[in-house]
Amino acid sequence: MYGLASSIRVLARKALKGTMLKRRFRVFSSLSALFIGVIYVLTPAYATSVIGNSNQAKDQLTFDFSGSYRVRYEALNNPIFPTSAESREQSNQRISTRIIFKTTLNYKNVSATLDIRDSRAFLDENDPTLGSNQVNTLEPVQLFVSYKPESIEGINAIKFGRMELDYGSRRLLAKAIYRNATNSYDGLVVEGEFNDWLVNGVYLLPVSRFPNDRDSIDANSRGIDKSFSERRFFGFYAQSPNKNTRIQSYWLKEKDSADLATRNRDLYTLSLDYTKPLGQGWKANAEIIGQIGSAHESASPNDVDEKDVRAYMLFGYVGKQITDNTFLRAEVDYISGDNDNTDNTISDFDSLYGVRRFDFGPTDVYQGFQRRNLKTFGLRSVSKPTRQHNIMLGYKAYWYQKAPEAVDSFIGHQVEARWRYWLYPELRLSLGGAYLFKGEGFERGDYSDNSAFLFTGAMYSF
């Protein structure tokens, strides 16, 4: 065990240079050593458990290791939301890389997981979309212990530590897939069953990615991610036995501290998600989310006005399996918005820790629309002509739910496509793009030009 911990320290020191990074690395390496030590304490029979026959497999220490390496190139002509007239016709390019090393040690009904990721961006000069959502250098995004009690009825697992979570429609709580850096949380998760329903309870401190200043992110500098006790997220996720009904109920409470500037959100959010098979290949889905509470308009320390929040989101689709390998659906979004920040209410919907790529197109360089103040109608098809190919085609028309004063409500038409090809089971290639035909709602200020986006990449998994 000591030798393994020492090897981790030696390898990482070669990758990190500079006095400040070495100090930060000592914290990380201590966590790694602690992780290994926990496994050692939890497995006192380690020396003998690794040797045995298959009948004793449950009592043996097992070791799982997996990971991936992804590289992606993205190019955007005419940003959707330019920050100035000069950047309206700018061409943004980026190469992003992401490395994942994940290991899990299992012994009896206890397991421990360590997930280290390195997300970086290159070729990104003068790109205002670059942030900590894309760069998170050499970070343990998961470090947790899971216990599966055998004597507590209805409890399947108890997890404690830092972890990713991915629930339901992924519109409120999700890990990132397309985005280069993911979401993680420090806290406690209890997974159980009640009347054959899957019920998960969570008490979490969302993790903030560091560094978060422009120059450090652009240089792929490393910081230590951390959570804050002043920001808490708790609630439950429930799923019916047939997986057609899903309920999510969450509270988010946050307040400012010396190291954390917030909007002082105190929000309660409830989601009801129902899927109905209609027969003959037809299927329908609807999700209704309501949100109440209070918040400030911004995280500025000068913003001291607390306002009531009343927001909601509706999503639905009706689709049909039109061929053996193609599913086509028509989909709509209706998401509350706000066009007046001078009154005493906030009606912009807050998607909390959800992701949006599957609804509104690629994120990262393209930076499609946020899940607020929108009305949309679209068509989407997913085809799997062979085990090696996956093709997605999409169209969406966008309107403001509440247009800014003296601005037309129509935002534009967006078309997108994505093709994934598994050259080998371990190697996936991808190619895709999107084009936004901007409508009259963008014919003002710096927003007049159509946006064209292309990406290509490869991911090797092991």
| Per-residue pLDDT tens digits for 83-96 | 777 777 888 999 99
Spatial separation of the C-alpha atoms in residues 159 and 146, rounded to whole Å: 4
Peptide bond before 425: cis, by omega within 30 degrees of 0?
Answer: no
Residue (of 2, 34, 192) closest to 114 by Cα position: 34
Q: What is the mean pLDDT of residues 171-184?
A: 97
Contact status, residue 188 vs residue 158, Cβ threshold 8 Å: yes
Write the pLDDT tens digit of every residue in 220-272: 999 999 999 999 999 999 999 999 999 999 999 999 999 999 999 999 999 99
Contact status, residue 181 vs residue 209, Cβ threshold 8 Å: yes
pLDDT at 12 over 50: no
- 279: Cβ–Cβ under 8 A, 6 or more apart, which residues? none
Q: Are strands 155-163 and 110-122 parallel, antiparallel or unpaired?
A: unpaired
Higher confidence at residue 406 or residue 284?
Answer: 284
Res 125: pLDDT: 76
Q: What is the mean pLDDT of residues 305-325?
A: 97
Res 253: pLDDT: 98
The H-or-E segment that residue 433 falls in is strand 427-438
pTM of this structure: 0.85
pLDDT at 41 over 80: no
Instruction: Write down the mean pLDDT value for the chain.
Output: 88
Contact status, residue 330 vs residue 379, Cβ threshold 8 Å: yes
Res 331: pLDDT: 98
Q: Cα 334 vs. chain centroid, distance in angstroms?
A: 22
Q: Are strands 61-77 and 231-239 parallel, antiparallel or unpaired?
A: unpaired
Write the pLDDT tens digit of every residue in 72-130: 999 999 988 887 777 778 889 999 999 999 999 999 999 999 999 999 999 877 788 89
The H-or-E segment that residue 374 falls in is strand 374-383
